[in-house]
Amino acid sequence: MIATAFEYETPSSVDEAVARLSELGDRGRVLAGGHSLIPLMKLRLAQPEVLVDIGRLGELRAVREDGDRLAIGALVTHAQLAADATVDRHCRVLAETAAVIGDPQVRNRGTIGGALAHADPAADYPATVLALEAEVVAQGPGGRRTIPVAEFFSGLFSTALAPDELLVELRVPRLGPGSGGAYLKRPNKASHYAVVGVAAVARLAGGRIERLRVGVTGAGAQPVRATAVEQALEGESPSAAAIARAAESAAAGIDCLSDVHGSAEYRAAMTRVYARRAIQAAIGRAGSPSL
């Protein structure tokens, strides 16, 4: 399988990359690790005229602590994220998500920025970044803007990024004491993408669930928060029964996909099962001894 021909550019800075994207409009496409884009190009499902390779922009490759947030450069690979001590200490659920993407080779090349911008409905990160209420930093010709992840994913393979905007950074909260998260997925046995993946991030206070965020990927055309589950459990004292009850509405409002890897009905059912398991794990990690 061979991609169609394209022009290839290697801007030497983010500014230059954004300027080029702005000039190119529809003709340009960003290449980061390439592990979402290149397979599509080889199948000729994507035929960009110009690839703007940001893979050499070292400025996007760092993980930084920035106040109460971690700033993760768009070019941080899944493997790098999975092994990063800072991420492990402050936002382990993100490292754990990175560690179950694809396979070892894919994790070495694929980047978090590329994965988020590609917005594959079966990608793993979206569930976790939704549950973390992370923010995406995008740079366009007019400068940088911060997009809450809740507003970032806008449909199948589509995001709030403008064609001339580059996703440069993901900002996630540092999960302090009393908080915990978990991401659980059912991998598609062929591609390792998520048939269903659910992330939960919980904070406990005074023996109650003070805050709970649940993100779901794989089930529908775009990743979503399971807000009904969150609302049912926030303020409650954590119990297996309460969690199980609340998780029953995990798929509410999701128009589940049907394909060879799972019917809509099965995806919905697994969303409920994985939501329960992820919430239990997150609350357990947040420090509830009962779970």
- In whole angstroms, the minimum distance from the beta carbon of 160 to another protein comes to 27
Tokens representing 96? 């754990």
- In whole angstroms, the minimum distance from the beta carbon of 94 to another protein comes to 16
SS3 of 261, please?
coil
CA-to-CA distance for 46 and 28, rounded, in angstroms? 12
Say if CB 186 and CB 161 are below 8 A apart.
Answer: no
Residue 58 or 67: the one with the smaller Cβ distance to another protein is 58
Q: Using CB under 8 A, which of 92, 150, 221, 266 touches another protein?
A: 266
Residue 47 or 231: the one with the smaller Cβ distance to another protein is 47
Residue 242 or 273: the one with the smaller Cβ distance to another protein is 273
98 to 102, 138, 152, 211, 253: CA distances (angstroms): 9, 21, 19, 24, 27
Residue numbers 188-217 binding another protein by CB under 8 A: 188-192
Q: Using CB under 8 A, which of 10, 22, 86, 239 touches another protein?
A: 10
Binding of residue 106 to another protein (CB under 8 A)? yes
Picking from 233, 229, 232, the residue whose alpha carbon sits closest to that of residue 214 is 229
Say if CB 149 and CB 180 are below 8 A apart.
Answer: no
Specify which residues 179 forms β-bridges with.
203
Binding of residue 79 to another protein (CB under 8 A)? yes
Q: What is the CA radius of gyration of the chain?
A: 19
Pairing of strands 50-53, 28-31: parallel
Binding of residue 241 to another protein (CB under 8 A)? no
- In whole angstroms, the minimum distance from the beta carbon of 262 to another protein comes to 6
Q: Which amino acid is at 213?
A: R
Binding stretches for another protein (CB under 8 A): 1-8, 10, 12, 31, 34-35, 38-39, 41-44, 51, 53, 55-62, 75, 79-80, 102-106, 108-109, 186, 188-192, 259-263, 266, 269-270, 273
